[in-house]
Amino acid sequence: MKAFIPDPKERPKELTRFKHLRVAWFVVLLGLMAAAPAAWAADEDEEYDSYKIRLDGFWFYSKPTGHFSSKGNLGLLDLEKDVGFNSYSTGAAKIDWKFTHKNHLYFIYDNFTHTKNTVLNRAVVFQGKTFNVGATASGSLSSKIYIPGYQYDFIRRKRGSLGVQVQLNIIDVVGKLSAAAQVNNGVPQAASFSSADLRVPLPVAGPTMRFYLIPNSGRLFVDANVLGMYFFGYGNYVSTMGTLGFTVVKHVAIRGGYSLGSRFDINTKTNRVGVTLSQHGALVGLELSF
């Protein structure tokens, strides 16, 4: 049977829907960032958001979508159509050192790892190897992101802050597809294994804000950012996150919201793997400030 090799330039419908959702999300977040400074202008009292060290830990219910394009365009592995990936739980952590009134250094670690067993509903060619329709296969995705960054707050008042983040996203992505030796429709099939990996440092930047919603109260706040960069012929990266936070006691807050995650598109060339990948979903976490 001749294997179907999809066009590496094809974009799944889920990514098209994601693009429209991302645009709407940007409009909402940028609107909040533009409107908030008017409420801060005359606010000179002690800040609600005063700290030196801040620790954030998040549980993230992630939905991965996208695909890997093999070196030399020798096939494409689609995470939804071929492997059937669904939402799964993962985590992320951040440490923020505010070493002056408006300057921060921080480090973030994200780890998205997922494995799914499936029966292939079409013949898949990946990294030059063919996995026949009906084969029982195991697909896995490992996406680890190490992020050192710097933040400067242009505005810092009692009711919140508005600043800019500049960071280096060191991304390590590995996609694998394997099938054990088996009998498929009465025909013996040899074991097959293919993997593709991409390791890239991506500099990104964008606005960030925190705003306390209730006058004379440091309990309820919103926190949001928009980060991205275009790498010309090599691809692009964008991420957004918005949360609603509630300060339980001094130094401790609960945050929950939605992340459009780490959506990046690295174009395939004859000598490297191409990746289009997005991670998006609900999140909830704990914030400790000292």
Instruction: Give the pLDDT mean for 31-45.
Output: 54
Tell me the per-residue pLDDT of 272-289, one tens digit each, with 9 for 90 and over.
667 778 888 899 999 999
What torsion do the CA atoms of 40, 107, 290, 61 make, to the nearest 10 degrees? 80
Tell me the per-residue pLDDT of 213-224, one tens digit each, with 9 for 90 and over.
998 889 999 999
What's the token pair of residue 217? Answer: 């109260």
Decide if 5 is inside a domain.
no
Q: Residue 89's beta-bridge partner residues?
A: 61
For residues 163 and 151, the answer to whether their CB atoms sit within 8 Å is yes
Decide if 8 is inside a domain.
no
pLDDT at 4: 37
Instruction: Give the pLDDT mean for 123-140.
Output: 82
Decide if 35 is inside a domain.
yes
Decide if 27 is inside a domain.
yes
Report DSSP state, residue 112: E
Q: Which residues, 6+ apart, have CB-to-CB distance to 9 below 8 Å?
A: none
What's the farthest any 2 CA atoms get from each other in the chain? 78
- Average pLDDT score, the chain: 80
Decide if 4 is inside a domain.
no
Instruction: Give the pLDDT mean for 184-212.
Output: 83
Question: Over 50: is that where the pLDDT of 8 sits?
Answer: no
Decide if 44 is inside a domain.
yes
pLDDT at 25: 54
Q: What percent of the chain has pLDDT over 70?
A: 75
Which DSSP string corresponds to 179-246? E-SEEETTEEE--EEEEEEEEEEEEEEEEEEEEE-STT--SEEEEEEEEEEE-GGGEEEEEEEEEEEE
Q: Which residues, 6+ apart, have CB-to-CB distance to 18 below 8 Å?
A: 65, 260, 263, 278, 280
Instruction: Give the pLDDT mean for 105-121.
Output: 88
Q: Which residues, 6+ apart, have CB-to-CB distance to 282 below 8 Å?
A: 60, 61, 256, 257, 258, 259
Residue type, position 254, single letter:
I
Which residues constitute the domain of residue 77?
13-289
Decide if 176 is inside a domain.
yes
Instruction: Give the pLDDT mean for 230-234.
Output: 77
Q: What percent of the chain has pLDDT over 90?
A: 36
Cα(133)–Cα(6) distance, integer angstroms = 15
Q: Which residues, 6+ apart, have CB-to-CB distance to 79 below 8 Å?
A: 64, 65, 66, 67, 85, 139, 141, 175, 277
| Between residues 58 and 34, the one the model is more confident about | 58
pLDDT at 236: 83
Structure pTM?
A: 0.79
- What CATH number does residue 212 fall under? 2.40.128.90
pLDDT at 37: 54
Decide if 116 is inside a domain.
yes
The helix/strand/coil state of 19 is helix
Task: Give residue 117's pLDDT band: very low, low, confident or very high (50, 70, 90).
Answer: confident
Tell me the per-residue pLDDT of 39-74, one tens digit each, with 9 for 90 and over.
555 455 679 999 999 999 999 888 888 877 776 666
Report the range out of 58-67, 72-81, 178-187, 237-246 with the highest average pLDDT. Answer: 237-246
For residues 278 and 258, the answer to whether their CB atoms sit within 8 Å is no
Number of domains in the chain: 1
pLDDT at 243: 96
Question: Over 90: is that where the pLDDT of 225 sits?
Answer: yes
Burial class (CB in 10 A: 0-12, 13-18, 19+), 24: exposed
